[in-house]
């Protein structure tokens, strides 16, 4: 299906089938779509509302066009990656959680980018922590195999995205591409915690992951707007496991923790956030540590080395308290 034909269909508020979206997305990722067509298509999709099959089809093409990161481990490969764009000013929670999860013995392929709506995206803070965010494929694979954690910088991994970058920037609003980052891990992560900026999309994204063959995932949205499991109140969760999707709510007490105020989780510049993460990994107590433990626990559960969140919480605490999480950063 040509993009012009797909555009007319979407303008008529008709969902594209997965194979139709694969055809259109292939044209986009190979530079065959004009900017005017791409801008119109992304806008029409946003107005209609992207369907499960459309998101899955787009993700399949992005995965196919991405650099393939090959990992020797047979253990589940974990990713802690949100959509970003939640408009809050927290520190980089899922980035800190990645080191904690890796300290538990799981391989973590942390997929990320520069800031979307905050001062500091995962790439920004990792650079301040001394991580080489521009590492090539071979270096990332070596890090994953030898250290158990590697950073997959989206622009390095998804070269074909260059064809859409200018149009996305000019449009200036969220498009289907904002949903695709967490769905297109180049290492094929099959155990994930995905934070979503929009609670109405939780079940949809869990269903997309099911179509894509993900093994175990938590798709989460905090009632305070966070694209993380939050410590300030309730978090809506869609958990995908064994091809089944369960919907439920988590609160801090689900982890044996007390709630905090939103300002307790505030971050700042990449340099300030790097300092916060170093302090957490070196054992500093408080709400910032607690929210990292919560999100790490979900990822540990997704990696299936703990039976439930309380067991995962124990492992997450041990990862920090024994210094293993901090060692992952220093390695």
pLDDT per position as a tens digit, 143-163: 999 999 999 998 889 999 999
Are the C-beta atoms of 31 and 167 separated by less than 8 Å?
A: no
Please give the structure tokens belonging to residue 95. Answer: 């980035």
Percent of the chain with pLDDT over 70: 98
The DSSP bridge partners found for residue 108 are: 78, 149
For the chain, give the number of residues: 331
Q: What is the pLDDT of residue 188?
A: 92
- Quick one: pLDDT band at residue 245, thresholds 50, 70, 90? very high
pLDDT at 86: 66
* Burial class, 278, CB count within 10 angstroms (exposed 0-12 / middle 13-18 / buried 19+): middle
Q: Please, what is the average pLDDT of the chain?
A: 94
For 77-156+180-330, CATH number out of 1.10.10.10, 3.40.1030.10, 2.60.40.3080, 3.30.1280.10 equals: 3.40.1030.10
Share of the chain above pLDDT 90, in %: 87
pLDDT given at position 114: 80
Report the DSSP pairing between strands 107-112 and 149-153. parallel
Helix extents (H) in 175-321: 177-180, 202-212, 270-281, 287-302, 309-321
The 216-222 sheet, strands edge to edge: 149-153, 107-112, 77-80, 191-195, 216-222, 235-241, 244-250
CA distance 298 to 254: 12
Domain spans, the chain: 77-156+180-330
* pTM value surpassing 0.85: yes
| pLDDT single digits (tens) 83-112 | 876 677 899 999 999 999 999 999 999 998
Residue range 58-70, pLDDT digits in tens: 999 999 999 999 9
| 3 state DSSP class of 195 | strand
Q: At what angle do helices 309-321 and 93-102 cross, to 10 degrees?
A: 80
Cα distance between residue 220 and residue 279, in whole Å: 26
Dump pLDDT digits (tens) for 104-136: 999 999 998 887 656 778 899 999 999 999 999
CA atoms of 91 and 64, how far apart (whole Å): 32
**Residue 21 pLDDT grade (very low, low, confident, very high; cuts 50, 70, 90):** very high
């Amino acid at each position: 299906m040509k993009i012009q034909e797909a555009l007319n269909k979407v303008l008529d508020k008709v969902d594209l089938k997965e194979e139709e979206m694969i055809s259109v997305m292939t044209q986009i990722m190979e530079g065959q779509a004009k900017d005017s067509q791409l801008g119109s298509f992304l806008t029409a999709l946003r107005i209609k509302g992207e369907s499960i099959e459309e998101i899955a089809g787009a993700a399949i093409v992005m995965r196919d066009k991405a650099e393939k990161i090959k990992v020797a481990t047979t253990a589940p490969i974990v990713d802690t990656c949100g959509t970003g764009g939640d408009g809050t000013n927290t520190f980089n929670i899922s980035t800190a959680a990645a080191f904690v999860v890796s300290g538990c013995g799981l391989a973590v392929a942390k997929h990320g980018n520069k800031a979307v709506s905050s001062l500091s995206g995962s790439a920004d803070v990792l650079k301040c922590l001394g991580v080489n965010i521009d590492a090539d494929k071979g270096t990332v694979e070596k890090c994953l195999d030898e250290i158990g954690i590697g950073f997959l910088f989206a622009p390095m991994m998804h070269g074909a995205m260059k064809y859409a970058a200018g149009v996305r920037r000019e449009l200036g609003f969220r498009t289907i591409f904002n949903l695709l980052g967490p769905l297109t891990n180049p290492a094929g992560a099959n155990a994930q915690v995905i934070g979503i900026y929009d609670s109405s999309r939780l079940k949809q994204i869990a269903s997309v992951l099911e179509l894509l063959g993900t093994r175990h995932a938590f798709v989460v949205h905090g009632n305070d707007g966070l694209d993380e499991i939050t410590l300030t109140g309730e978090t809506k969760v869609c958990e995908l496991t064994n091809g089944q999707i369960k919907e439920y709510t988590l609160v801090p007490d689900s982890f044996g923790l007390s709630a905090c105020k939103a300002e307790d989780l505030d971050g700042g510049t990449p340099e300030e956030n790097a300092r916060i993460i170093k302090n957490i990994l070196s054992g500093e107590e408080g709400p910032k540590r607690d929210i990292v433990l919560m999100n790490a626990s979900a990822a540990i559960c997704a990696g299936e080395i703990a039976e439930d969140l309380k067991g995962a919480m124990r492992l997450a605490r041990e990862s920090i308290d024994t210094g293993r999480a901090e060692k992952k950063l220093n390695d």
